[in-house]
Amino acid sequence: MDVPSVFDFFLLSLASFRLTRLVVFDKITEFIRRPFFVEWTEVNENGEVETYIKPKEKGFQSWVGELISCYWCTGVWSALGLYGGYLAYPSLFQPIIVVLAIAGLAALIETIVHFVQR
């Protein structure tokens, strides 16, 4: 079994973090999530429009909706996919892992800066 170095483990961890957020939360991937959710809006007591989503109720769409609405679940699958790609197709997956890791670290730094500036 090929165990990643500490550096590769760190890269894979950051890449998995970023891929998980990309799938579960980011607006850019909303079109991927849309077929698996029911969406509705309501006006709250302050007059602000709030949008709610929940996974569809039946079948494959329900299963995928549940999966991609849970960042813990999606995190496991993204880690499995990235690590599997790292082992099976390193020349293809290494650039993907590095880019996602850079984006993941940048997101963490941005969160820290935003928190400190408050």
Q: Tell me the per-residue pLDDT of 22-77, one tens digit each, with 9 for 90 and over.
A: 999 999 999 999 999 998 999 999 989 998 889 999 999 999 999 999 999 999 99
How far apart are alpha carbons 95 and 113 in whole angstroms?
27
- With 0-12 / 13-18 / 19 or more C-beta atoms within 10 angstroms meaning exposed / middle / buried, residue 74 is buried
The structural domain count of the chain equals 1
Tell me if 80 is assigned to some domain.
yes
- Is 118 part of a structural domain of the chain? no
Contact, 56 vs 36, CB < 8 A?
A: yes
Exposed / middle / buried, residue 61 (Cβ in 10 Å: 0-12, 13-18, 19+): middle
Q: How many residues in total does the chain contain?
A: 118
Asked whether residue 48 is assigned to any structural domain, the reply reads yes
Parent domain of 65: 6-112
